[in-house]
Amino acid sequence: MSMPGQNRSALFAQRLLVQVALLAVALIYLAPLFWMLDTSVKTERQAMSHIPSGAGKAFSALLVPHPLHLDNYRKVIESPFFKMPLYARNTLVIALLVAIGSMLSASLVAYGLTKLRWHGRQILFWIVLGSMMLPFSVMMVPLYQIYRDFGWIGTNLPLWLPTFMAPPFYIFLLRQFYLTIPDELTEAAVIDGAGPFRIWWRIMVPLTRPALLVVGLFSFVASWNNFIGPLVYLTHQRTFTLALALQFFQTRHGGVAHTLLMAATVLVVLPIIVIFFLAQKTFIRGIATTGIKG
């Protein structure tokens, strides 16, 4: 017969083991980010030199390079090949439009697939799910031909306007949330004389705010990091996004110094890191409250 103290010790040891394992996995994922930050504050000679001998010196050299070479960031910002304010503005405008379009359109379609009764809605939902299986590489050529016929190539319209047609993944995410909302709310609104659009805008949208914020964060981050889309559709340097501009900066004149490239990369990913830390509670709460009802 086990004693209560032994059970508590075993439980504590188990939790400690899990936390150590999670910490080890987190460090593995954080290693590239740390290397990027470390390289961005070094000179090219420091970045390419060998680590000093001795465990203490090696750890010190990896942790804090001496001296810090913050001039890399100034060179990147002032570089004529990486117009940071212009590319950041282009990326921010596209990302905001993508987030707004995804939230509004996906919410409206998900509402129609859950709260409105009409024949064939389940079949249409399965078709929506099936469209999620198609990779962008399969649709890239026909989409390019369609956008070319519309005269959109060379503009940012292909990067944000299609999101107002309800991306399938966000439809699925919001539909699962709508399924957790009692039908009595919509039925009561119908009795009071409210139409479907008014019910969606005045009742459903406020109730699904946590899930909508998750959709907005997902779509904003995906748009900010999108590379293949701008590479295919953008043809003028003045319309480049940060991801595409970073690749252009990397390949100019056969390559650029590693330290400058890492400094530019830090500037590109820094807004996303800040957004995550500011919105992590909202993000976690939205994921936790998203329904899993089928």
* pTM for this model (two decimals): 0.84
CB 132 within 8 A of CB 168: yes
CB 99 within 8 A of CB 164: no
Same domain for 121 and 58: no
> Would 281 be classed as within a structural domain?
yes
Tell which of 21, 46, 73 closes a domain: 73
* Structure tokens that stand for 228 in this block: 């293949």
Q: Give the SS3 label for residue 100.
A: helix
Same domain for 151 and 284: yes
Q: What is the predicted pLDDT for the residue at 70?
A: 82
Q: What is the predicted pLDDT for the residue at 168?
A: 92
Tell which of 73, 107, 128 closes a domain: 73
Tokens 């379609």 map to which residue? Answer: 109
**Cis preceding-peptide flag for 67 (omega within 30 of 0):** yes
Same domain for 206 and 90: yes
CA angle 228, 242, 80 (to 5 degrees): 125
CB 241 within 8 A of CB 87: yes
> Would 216 be classed as within a structural domain?
yes
Tell which of 73, 99, 117 closes a domain: 73
> Would 294 be classed as within a structural domain?
no
CB 82 within 8 A of CB 264: yes
Same domain for 224 and 180: yes
Same domain for 103 and 69: no
Query: Hey, which of 51-55, 62-66, 76-80, 226-230 has the most confident mean pLDDT?
Result: 226-230
* Residue 184 in this model has a pLDDT that exceeds 80: yes
Which is more confident, 180 or 49? Answer: 180
> Would 255 be classed as within a structural domain?
yes
Q: What is the predicted pLDDT for the residue at 57?
A: 47
Same domain for 216 and 113: yes
Same domain for 104 and 66: no
DSSP output for 203-250? IIHHHTHHHHHHHHHHHHHHHHH--HHHHHH--SGGG--HHHHHHHHH
Q: For 106, phi and psi rounded to 5 degrees?
A: -65, -35
Chain segment 238-269, per-residue pLDDT in tens: 999 999 999 888 887 566 778 888 899 999 99
d(CA 196, CA 121): 16
CATH label of the domain that carries residue 179 = 1.10.3720.10
Measured N-to-C along each axis, helices 168-178 and 84-114 cross at an angle, to the nearest 10 degrees, of 50
Domain span holding position 9: 4-73
Q: What is the predicted pLDDT for the residue at 256?
A: 72
Chain segment 94-152, per-residue pLDDT in tens: 999 999 999 999 999 999 999 888 888 889 999 988 888 888 888 999 999 999 999 99
Nearest to 206 by CA among 88, 67, 76, 111: 111
Looking at residue 134, the DSSP 8-state letter turns out to be: S
* Structure tokens that stand for 39 in this block: 């390289």
> Would 217 be classed as within a structural domain?
yes
> Would 200 be classed as within a structural domain?
yes
Same domain for 142 and 64: no
Same domain for 251 and 126: yes
What is the tally of structural domains in the chain? 2
* Residue 183 in this model has a pLDDT that exceeds 80: yes
Same domain for 66 and 11: yes
Same domain for 129 and 62: no
> Would 28 be classed as within a structural domain?
yes
Same domain for 225 and 98: yes
Chain segment 198-239, per-residue pLDDT in tens: 999 988 988 888 889 889 999 999 999 999 999 999 999 999
Average pLDDT over residues 188-199: 87
